[in-house]
Every structure is written in C-alpha cells, then in structure tokens.
Homo-oligomer: A and B are copies of this chain.
Amino acid sequence: MGTATKKTIQQLVSENSNYFQMAISVDCVIFGFDNNELKVLLIKSDLEEFHNEWSLLGDLVHLSENPDAASYRVLKEKTGLDDVFLEQVHTFGEVDRHPAGRVITIAYYSLIDIKHHKLKLSHNELHWHPVNEIHTMAFDHRKILSTCLEQLQSKVSEHPIVFNLLPEKFSLRELQTLYEAILGTKLDRRNFRKKFLMMNWLTDVNELEQNVTHRPGRLYRFKMRKHLQTTERKNAVAITY
C-alpha cells in the first residue's frame, strides 16, 4: 500500500536525522505585585558568559517531557510553587540566541501572590525585580520579558486574572494600583470602583485595612476561585478609562 511517493517513518527519520540536533527550553516569566510595583522573578545566570546578568527561570525540556509539564517543573523546582497557572506566550528561536547551540525556547508567563507564596528565595540567587527597572538581561530574555508583559497587559484587559497577584483579601485601591502598574496608566477611581462592583466578582468581607495611616478601605475577596486559572472568552471584559 502507499503510493511510490509516500514515505515510511523509517525513511523519514533516516533522511532527516541531521535535523534532530536541537534543544528546546522553557522560560517562565513570573510576575508578582509588591510595594505598588509590578515585579518579575529572576535568577542570576549560571553561565559564565552571562556573569552578573539576570535571566528568566528556565530549563531544557526533557526528551520525553511535554513543554507545558516542563514549565511547571521549572516553577516547582525554582520556587516550590505548584498551584499556579502558566500560559504559553511565544516561542523564540533565533539561530544565535544561545551560546551553547541551537536552543529554541518557549516562553510562559504566570502570576503569583508574592506575600502568600513565601519562596525559598534563600538557596538561589533568585530575586524579585521591578519590571520597570530591568534594562539588560542574559540571552534574549529582555525581549521575552517585553513580549510577556504585552501579553499580560492585553489579558488583564479582558479576563479576571489579576486576582492571582493579590492576597486573598484586598482593598479596591490595591486592585486599582495593580491595574495601573500593569497597564502603565492612571485610572479614574470612581469609575474603576463602579465597574468592579457592577461586575459582581467581589465579595465584601466586612473588614477594613490594617496599618494604614489614613481612613482604611474595605476589604474584598474574589468570588470565583475556579476562574483563577482560566482565561475563557466568556469572562472577557474590557477594563477601560
């Protein structure tokens, strides 16, 4: 069976054996929110060539490992976290992007609550960096970070994912500051509050902020935990003004 032009797998493999010489990695852009700033988790490069440069959390994908699984593994290994979502953003494969050979990397992003997930920040040279203050990075990681930030900006405008960056209870001011940090814009306070309260995503927990030097705001909790990991279209909502 099969026409003269059809190939068996054996033929295909042997004809193309020289193509099976590339490596795949995953790189994770982990965003956090702290001190009114959007931050990203970086690690000191372990390559001499990039001595003193910061890089994303990444690793090579094993031969019998799916890329998504590899991204969760990286996150787990580097931070201990395994209850967060990771979403694929883009693949970077420029020929000369890695000094060790042809390594193509798949970029993922994730959002975590810095305060709640106390990382084992000790063992590694692992640190949170304000996104706005990062200018150079190892490899093409600066570009990857920019692409993921753009992705984050467009996602938060349509889906209720920012709650992943906040503690369980938060004030509307914290929420607004977070949107402003991500989008890089100022938002109108009254309209912002109106919109979110209309949306019916929040439960008023009947508590007030602590340790603020001014009138404390009410605290809210995000209603639908199950939506935290999804970005379904039906939850889409534009955050404007």
What residues of B have a CB within 8 angstroms of the CB of A24 in the complex?
22, 24, 93, 104
A229 to chain B, nearest CB (A): 18
Query: Knowing A18-B63, A21-B21 touch, does A51 contact B6 (C-beta < 8 A)?
Result: yes
Picked from B9, B60, B88, the residue with its CB within 8 Å of the CB of A100 is: B9
Q: How far is the CB of A197 from chain B (nearest CB, A)?
A: 24
- In the complex, how many angstroms separate the beta carbon of A176 from the nearest chain B beta carbon? 22
Complex interface: chain B residues within 8 A of A13 (CB): 100-101
Cross-chain contact A23 with B23 (CB below 8 angstroms): no
In the complex, the chain B residue whose C-beta lies closest to that of A3 is B51
Is A212 an interface residue, CB under 8 A from the partner?
Answer: no
Question: Cβ of B95 and Cβ of A66 under 8 Å apart?
Answer: yes
Q: Which 4 A-B pairs have the closest CB atoms?
A: A67-B93, A91-B91, A19-B23, A2-B48
